[in-house]
Amino acid sequence: MTRIMHGMTALLATALITIFLGSSVTVELMGRHAAIATVKQLIVFPGLAILVPALALTGLSGLRLARHHRGALVERKLRRMRLVAANGLLVLTPCAFYLDDLASAGRFDAHFVVFQGLELCAGFANITLMALNMRDGWRMTHGHAVRAD
């Protein structure tokens, strides 16, 4: 059961982050301030209210599953998840709130552009790390040959 929950919450979290980034890029390209403000607001709520528990459950279930496995794949997955968590707590969450504040105030200035760029870079980094973890998790559960990276 833990393995199923882990896979589902990891997929949900990755999908949400992808939706957040895709929505942000789409509205930025459209250039309509009202749409940008709406997306930024929705990322904060209900977006983060769904994403944070999904990531927490993914991490907790991953730690529980890791008790039964040892090796390079498990260590890489744990190291990546620490980076994902730090990136989310220290960069992405503050950026989401700050960008929501700026957008709701109609401030689409240099600060907005800088923090939007930071959020996009950090978000793409997290998607990449989470995708690598999914790949390694698949290898662990389906017995694929694993080469040393």
Q: Domains of the chain by range and CATH? A: 2-142 (1.20.120)
Residues 54-75: tens digit of each pLDDT: 999 999 999 998 887 788 989 9
Could you give the C-alpha distances from 35 to 21, 94, 106, 116, 149, in angstroms and in order?
14, 20, 11, 15, 43
Higher pLDDT pick, 81 / 145: 81
Could you give the C-alpha distances from 36 to 8, 19, 57, 61, 114, in angstroms and in order?
29, 14, 30, 35, 15
How far, in Å, CA of 64 to CA of 100, rounded?
A: 35
How far, in Å, CA of 12 to CA of 6, rounded?
A: 10
- What pLDDT score does 69 carry? 77
- What pLDDT score does 140 carry? 85
